Structure 1
C-alpha cells in the first residue's frame, strides 16, 4: 500500500512541477513569483517528504522486482521489506540536515 501511495504522491509532484515550470514560457515574472512562494519552511518540509517518498518508492520497487524475479523472493519478502525500511531510515537521517538546514537555521537561529 505504501508503494502505491508514494507513487501517487510522486505523480502529483511531477504534475505540479510541470505546471509551474511551464510558467516560464508564459511569463518569466510569474514563474519568479511562484518560485519565490516556495521559499518557506512548510515547502521545505514538503521537499523532505518528497525525498522520503521517492527514496521509499525506489527501494521498495527494487524489493518488488526481487520478489517477482527471484525464485526465493516470495519466501524472503518480509525480511527484504524490513531491509528496505532500515536502509530508508538511515538514508533519511542522513538527508535530514542537508535538506532542512535553511528551515532549521530560520527556526533556531544560526
Structure 2
C-alpha cells in the first residue's frame, strides 16, 4: 500500500508489550499517553478514539442532567440557581460540544452497525471510505446546527438581546 511503512514483527511485539504493561492497573497515565499515538491504525484508530470521547462526553452530560434534574425534588432553590447558571454563554458552548458528541457518536455507531450486518464491509479500504463518508455527513449536519445554535448563543447570551 502506498504510504504505509513496514513494521518488523519484533518492533510490533515490543510495542504491544509496552501497551500491555501500560494497561495494567499500576501503570501511569504518562506511559499510556506516550504509547497510544505510536499505534499505526491511522484513520480507523482516530475514528475509534473520537467515538469513545464522544460517548464519554454524552455520558457526562446525561449524568449531570440527571443530577441537576433531581434537585427539583430535593433542593428546589438550588435547581433555580442551576437554571440561571445554565443560561451563561459558556454552557451554550457546552451545548455546541454536546451536539457534536451526540451527532458523531450516532453517525459512527450507524456505520459500525451497518458494517456488522455486512461483514464484507470490514475490509480496511472499504472502512476508510465509510469513515470518510461519516466525517462528511457529520460536517454536513453539524455546520448548520453550529451556525444556528452559535448565533442564538451570541444574540441571547453574550450580546444580551
> Do both proteins adopt the same fold according to a TM-score greater than 0.5, normalized to the shorter chain?
yes
TM-score by length of 1: 0.90
Over the aligned positions, Cα root-mean-square deviation in angstroms equals: 1.7
Alpha-carbon distance in 2 for matches of 1:50, 1:33: 22
**Counterpart in the other structure of 1:29:** 77
Aligned residues: 110
Alpha-carbon distance in 2 for matches of 1:91, 1:2: 17
**Counterpart in the other structure of 1:81:** 131
Does 1:38 pair with 2:94?
no
Deviation at 1:108, TM superposition (A): 6.1
Helix, strand or coil at the partner of 1:88: helix
Alpha-carbon distance in 2 for matches of 1:98, 1:4: 26
Q: Structure 1: give runs of 5+ residues left out of the alignment.
A: none
Alpha-carbon distance in 2 for matches of 1:94, 1:88: 11
Does 1:15 pair with 2:63?
yes
Alpha-carbon distance in 2 for matches of 1:66, 1:88: 17
Alpha-carbon distance in 2 for matches of 1:7, 1:97: 23
Alpha-carbon distance in 1 for matches of 2:152, 2:113: 37
Alpha-carbon distance in 1 for matches of 2:52, 2:59: 11
**Counterpart in the other structure of 1:47:** 95
Q: Give 1:67's match in structure 2, choosing from 112, 115, 120.
A: 115
Alpha-carbon distance in 2 for matches of 1:107, 1:11: 28
**Counterpart in the other structure of 2:40:** none
